[in-house]
Amino acid sequence: MSTITIEALTKRYSRVTALDQLTVDVPEGVCGLVGANGAGKSTLIKILLGLSTPTAGRASVLGYDIASHGPEIRQLVGYMPEHDCLPPDVSAAEFVMHMARISGLPTGAARERTADTLRHVGLMEERYRRMGGYSTGMKQRVKLAQALVHDPKLVFLDEPTNGLDPVGRDEMLDLIRRIHTKFGISVLVTSHLLGELERTSDHVIIIDGGRLLKSRSTGELTSQTHTLILEVLDPAGGADAADRAQASLEASGLGVRRAGELMYVPATDESTFDSIRDTVAHAGLGLVRLQRDRHHIAEIFAENTPEGSQDHVVTG
Ligand SMILES: Nc1ncnc2c1ncn2[C@@H]1O[C@H](COP(=O)(O)OP(=O)(O)OP(=O)(O)O)[C@@H](O)[C@H]1O
Ligand SMILES: [Mg+2]
């Protein structure tokens, strides 16, 4: 089921076309919206929230038309904006509580939800400190907490990993995943890094210059290929193990593509596994790894064919 449907959505500013006839459906679950700087990600989110009006086209969010039902949509959707927007002299507890009250929760429920969401994002200890003294990672967590506090059905997270170090990035991606698995909330999350959304998202939409490039489930994107990947070693310590394996495999009639120590062999069927094992053993070498290669999401950046045209995912 789709949480969002977008039809020929266009947004023109005086000098640029931020969205250009964008048509795509966003399914339930965690959906990544990927694009380079200026691709139109934030523009799309603002239009879906009813904060900005499109030049042409239409869209609906959770069944509500954006043109006529902005308030209903904003009641059901949480929004984590891209830029820093936190008042420095207020604590996270006060701020999130305030946002809960603005959303219409009665005081008791607001207090409870504030504690729950701050716990979820890992900010319980520091919740009474003023936010001006927070690190970027802590600020991103408060922004996430305020998006969740009114128990939305769907959240829009605009670049939640911005400014985070690799550990902070991983923690944020795990938190996002849990928003869906633990609370059943659907997520639309933007990033300019395709790779980081591979693990978190059920589905990925890629836009470029306001146009749709790809819309795929990550399962489909990272599905197994018909290529086997293998790595060998010489138990006697010889340094030319990969060269020898390659020569033996080729002599057995198998096609081999090399990338450093790794070898890629096209598999006809399961028997290719046996042929490789036997050939490598016969050459006096050991197998360190033999597995099916997988597609990697980042590979589809290699060929920027727009959706609908001839397209294939490059394999390892
Ligand atoms: N209010 C505005 N007035 C004029 N042009 C705008 C406005 N907002 C966005 N744009 C332009 O629209 C295009 C898309 O911008 P948008 O902020 O949606 O991109 P983005 O994908 O969110 O980029 P980033 O990764 O940098 O956040 C850009 O060329 C931007 O300069
Ligand atoms: Mg943006």
- Alpha-carbon span 235 to 73, nearest angstrom: 64
| Of 10, 13, 211, best ligand 1 pocket probe by most atoms within 8 Å of the beta carbon | 13
Are β-strands 211-217 and 203-208 bridged in parallel, bridged antiparallel, or unpaired? Answer: antiparallel
Enter the tokens of residue 299. 């590979």
Q: Is 112 helix (H, G, I), strand (E, B) or coil?
A: helix
Q: Is the dihedral of CA 63, 59, 178, 180 positive or negative?
A: positive
Which tens digits make up the pLDDT trace of 241-289?
Answer: 999 999 999 999 999 999 888 999 998 888 999 999 999 999 999 999 9
Q: Return the higher-pLDDT residue of 294 and 184.
A: 184
pLDDT class of 314 with cuts at 50, 70, 90: very low
Ligand 1 within 6 A of CB of 43:
yes
Choose among 100, 105, 101: nearest CA to 117: 100
Q: What is the pLDDT of residues 78-132, one digit of tens each?
A: 999 999 889 999 999 999 999 999 999 999 999 999 999 999 999 999 999 999 9
Element holding 148 (H helix, E strand): helix 136-148
Residue nearest to atom 10 of ligand 1 (CA): 18
Q: Give residue 301's pLDDT.
A: 55
Query: What domains appear along the chain, each with residue ranges and CATH number?
Result: 2-221 (3.40.50.300), 224-294 (3.30.70.120)
309 Cβ closer than 6 Å to some ligand 1 atom: no
Q: Where are the beta strands (DSSP E) in the chain?
A: 2-12, 17-27, 30-34, 56-61, 64-65, 77-80, 154-157, 186-191, 203-208, 211-217, 224-233, 257-259, 262-266, 286-294
Atom nearest to 11 CA in ligand 1: 12
Cα–ligand 1 centroid distance for 70 (angstroms): 21
Compute how many other C-beta atoms are within 10 angstroms of the C-beta atom of residue 1. Answer: 7
209 Cβ closer than 6 Å to some ligand 1 atom:
no
Does 191 sit in the ligand 1 pocket, CB within 6 Å? no
- Residue whose Cα lies nearest atom 17 of ligand 1: it is 42
Examine the pLDDT at 313 and tell me if it is beyond 50.
Answer: no
Ligand 1 proximity of 82 Cβ (cutoff 6 Å)? yes
CA-CA distance, 238 to 21, in Å (whole number)?
Answer: 59
Cβ–ligand 1 contact at 16 (below 6 Å): yes
Distance 57 CA to ligand 1 centre (A): 18
Cα 112 to averaged position of ligand 1 atoms, centre (Å): 37
